[in-house]
Amino acid sequence: MVVQVVHGSLDQTSFPVAVGHASGMPLRGGAEGWLDAHLHGRLSDRLLVGAYPEQEGAGSYIAAPGMSPPGVLVLGLGQGGEVTAEKVARAMTAATLDWAVTQADALTDTPLEPLELGVASALIGTNPLDGIPLEESVAALVDGVVAAEVLLGNSQRLRSLVRIARLELIERYLDRAQAAVRSLQRLSTGAAASSVVQLKPMKHLTRREGGQRGLPLGVYTSGAWWRLEIRAAEPEEDTPEGYRDLEVTSLGRRARADRLVHRVESATVDELVATAITSKERDEQLGNTLFELLLPGGLKPTLLSGDNVQIVVDPQTAAYPWEALSVEPPSTPGQHHLALRGGMLRQYAERDALGARFTVRRPTGSDVLVIANPPTGDTAPDLPGALKEGRAVVDVLRRSRPDHPDYQVHALLWEEGEAETIGLPALAGNYPFRGILNALYGYEYRIVHIAAHGSYNAEKPARSGILIGPDQYLTATTISEMPVVPEFVFLNCCHSGRVASAGWDAQNGAGHSHQLAASIARALLMIGVRAVVAAGWAVDDDDATAFATKLYSSLLDDGQAFGEAVTCARQAATRTNTWAAYQCYGDPGFRFRSLSTGNYT
């Protein structure tokens, strides 16, 4: 088997090209995104319909007859930021076998000699966010292809029809290509030593069109998300009272710290967070103070790059306002907020077995539900900002879109206690919580958007929820009983109208509103909601409307993935600190599904 390194573009080969894909990540940037665009969306088509290898070790061949390259081998690498050379090798074997068997099955006659096949590949896993050393990537790719050739020999029919005779490692940038040649010469792997396959690494670089000098970092990180896992550690015997240890793991860095333990004075931090989210005064320094208190010093330099980051949390660490962290004091010029310098999303570390829904029914229609400003009598103040947001969201969702059927909007909107219904029966009575519950369970909703009061019961968190009457709550448990799981849920229970009533705030846990957002979001994710946005503290009414409408227009009109749309929405709400209030959970690559084709727009 001849192995050579090519300095040139990925379309300068007659072989299918292998690229890697991390679970939940959008097809943006790097070799995968470039090939998808170059091959007119062949990759994203399969991703959108769920026929794309994402699980680690999976691999498949996607044909592109008459094009250059003539196909793609997609390697499933599992979770982004957790890519290893071993995962690359296993997936390369699977994808190469899929390609080889496809070619063998296409032959109508048995040739005198097996048909010699070739495979090409990008240097998978070597971008800074995956962090595999280039030499390990080269070895993994060679190992994977050699293993596929060995496995083909297990079938007498297949080994008489095809053999894998060539592997091309393609790199656009000269310094990396030259490094790959050196790595190939040093190659010494188990597969290379196989008595079945004789490896013939070429000593010189092959030059083709499209090669460039230099190494622009953005090409390798554009659209990529690295994961920062932050969990509350179990208390040790020597853990002082009033302190909490956080286990912090940076996933997807070349200089990665597998596990750092950082001790925080929980009472101080909790008081800072509670004060910040209930105060009417804007504290520009607080984000930097929390950054210094919550994260270990060894990790902080890696957060200065402005890369997209997904914070993996548990129920304890989800309560912290990670979106508000700032890497520098406000006196320093420039943009220092992590969630504005780059994208920031959240993800729960794992789904609990208790209460998790493993068989998920998805909506098949185009129904969406909007609830805004439900009346609560004398229990809580009216929220005109919630009504404004609800109407704006209805307008965005009802907007006609080319080649995209209109959403069927169902809405319950209240103005000073008077109900306006859209696509639902008229409501009777002053406190129509029954109508809200009937509406919630009456249709298969693709999107649910609620703007209302929220209440957090610190002593009985299960009794926390969205206020839909004087003493009636829409709890996480109630929402989780929806028979058909929405794709997307947006909860804004923190309109600034709350701040006007100090008595309401004190009695209903305004200082714990970030915990309400985290707990309801967790319940929704457990039942299978694909993306959740929940406000963690009181937001400015105008900025809340700007955030919501920009998020929906980015997702629906612009066809952006969730991670990119959230970043755009935050940047549209920077007049106040409202942008930082939203906890956004889900895969960066999530997109809304087209109602006409079933694909994700």
Tell me the torsion sign for CA atoms 68, 74, 79, 85: negative
415-448 pLDDT tens trace: 988 899 999 988 876 667 889 999 999 999 999 9
Q: How confident is the model at residue 470 (pLDDT cuts 50, 70, 90)?
A: confident
Asked whether residue 257 carries a pLDDT value surpassing 50, the answer given is: no
The confidence band for 137, taking pLDDT boundaries of 50, 70 and 90, is: very high
Q: Is the pTM of this model over 0.75?
A: no
Range in 282-286, 379-383, 533-537 the model is least confident about: 282-286
CATH of 367-586, one of 3.40.190, 3.30.460, 1.10.540, 3.40.50: 3.40.50
Q: What is the pLDDT of residues 116-126, one digit of tens each?
A: 999 999 999 88
Contact residues for 588 (Cβ-Cβ < 8 A; gap 6+): 24, 25, 26, 225, 308, 310, 343, 345, 561, 562, 563, 564
Say yes or no to pLDDT of 560 above 50. Answer: yes
Q: Is the peptide bond before 69 cis (omega within 30 degrees of 0)?
A: yes
Average pLDDT over residues 155-174: 94
Task: State how beta strands 59-63 and 473-475 pair.
Answer: unpaired
Domain positions in the chain are 2-221, 225-348, 367-586
A 10 A CB-CB count for 113 gives 7
Contact 445, 592 (CB under 8 A): no
| DSSP structure class, residue 86 | H
Nearest CA to 439 out of 398, 470, 409 is that of 409
Q: How many CB atoms lie within 10 A of CB 130?
A: 26
Contact 549, 393 (CB under 8 A): yes
Q: Where is pLDDT greater, at 222 or 387?
A: 387
Q: Is the pLDDT of residue 236 over 50?
A: yes
Contact status, residue 517 vs residue 466, Cβ threshold 8 Å: no
Asked if residues 529 and 485 have their Cβ atoms less than 8 Å apart, the reply is: yes
Please tell me what DSSP assigns to residue 213: S
pLDDT tens digits, 54-66: 888 999 999 999 9
CB 276 within 8 A of CB 325: no
Output the CA angle 225-226-229, nearest 5 degrees. Answer: 130
Residue bearing the bigger pLDDT, 386 or 406 = 386
Lowest mean pLDDT among 145-154, 285-294, 356-365: 356-365
Given a cut of 60, whether residue 600 has pLDDT beyond it is: no
Give the homologous superfamily in CATH for domain 2-221.
Answer: Leucine Aminopeptidase, subunit E, domain 1 (3.40.220.10)
Residue 349 corresponds to which amino acid?
A
Question: CA distances (Å), 158 to each of 88, 97, 105, 165, 305, in order?
Answer: 24, 10, 9, 14, 49
